[in-house]
Amino acid sequence: MWIYFAAAAPVVWVIILLSSLYNCPGDKITMSNFFDRCRQQAVYNAIGMKANFDDLLKRRQNRFTPPGNLKGRVVVITGGTKGIGLEVIKELLKCDMNVVMGCRKVSAGEKAIAEIREAGVQTGTSKVFECDTSSFESTRKFAEKVLASCPKVNVLINNAGIMLVPYELTADGHESQWQVNYLSHFLLTKLLLPRLEESAANGINSRIVNLSSSAHLGGILNFDDLEMKKEFVSSTAYANSKLAQVMFTKSLQRSFDARGAPLQISSVHPGVVNTDLFKDTYITRMFPWMPTLLFKSPAQGATPVLYAALAAEMEGKGGSYISNCAEYPVSDEAKNIEKQNKLFEVSCKDIGVNVFTP
């Protein structure tokens, strides 16, 4: 792969250097941190470029045919009104599964389901509840509705996310990318965990899938300013939220293994995908041709997510990080057990719990 990367190096490095000078609205840039901020942005862009090349070179590997009939199994997914999540839901319904969607606007979720039905998918069932992952209250209410309406939950897919947005605090006082991408999913997983564990049967684990990103490779957690409230850089805040998902995956799987729980959790890099996440970002402003020409389609991005959620060969392989339907290594930061444990402890405090597992 690096041969191809080197061949395209002149164009690639021009793009990386130009985009490293872009400041997302809300980035806290001063003379003292300008060059460090450019370095962070350049690293983020280089990781994205490498991931994009990897997607192009491993298209044949990124294939998975979901099982034909999984009638009676229940999947809960956040987001899903468009992009990767919508394609995941479409395939889950084709498998005759019961899908529970949590999205900010119920009307948007119902419209998405209607479009899937109009496209000819008539199998499976669906429920749509409100779930705004920028709010702990909304996330808790969603979990309550899931538990009240679903006697079992076999798969949880933590899909909802935002990227490269300006600095903003949620009503709960957290940086928006940190809460939407990571912390509310940490809370939702905790609330649904007993039902997931109860639903495991016939030697088959219940599964949790965290949508992460190759961007985690550029993340570094500074526990003195975990959410970058002092020196905010949007791309680094995004990378850190995805790093947190990978670290959470590792630490929670370790907990499952220690007590022999019939549960497994994976994190997934869906690829560099042409979705609305890139809308109004510096990428589409500076290089509008790039997503359509080079990025994965939403359906291709959904493939590794479905692989982690449903593939028989993934049974018992919790704690894994999946890209293009294969296990990949994670960053040294993500493997740091001391930091994993500290993140877990801080996250429990942030959502107001002392004990996470049943």
Reference 255, options 152, 341, 136; nearest CA is 341
Q: What letter represents residue 190's amino acid?
A: K
Cα 343 → chain centroid: 17
Q: What letter represents residue 131's amino acid?
A: C
Q: Strand ranges (DSSP E) for the chain?
A: 74-78, 98-103, 125-130, 155-158, 206-211, 263-269, 321-323, 326-327
Please say whether the beta carbons of 154 and 73 come within 8 A: yes
Torsion sign across C-alpha atoms 350, 162, 287, 57 = positive
Catalytic residue among 22, 238, 307, 321: 238
- Separation in Å, CA 28 to CA 23, 33, 195, 282: 9, 9, 42, 17
Catalytic residue list contains 238: yes
**Could you tell me if residue 130 is left (phi over 0), alpha (psi between -120 and 50 degrees) or otherwise beta?**
beta
What is the number of H-type helices and E-type strands within the chain? 14, 8
Q: How far apart are CA 156 and CA 74, in angstroms?
A: 9
Active-site amino acid positions: 238
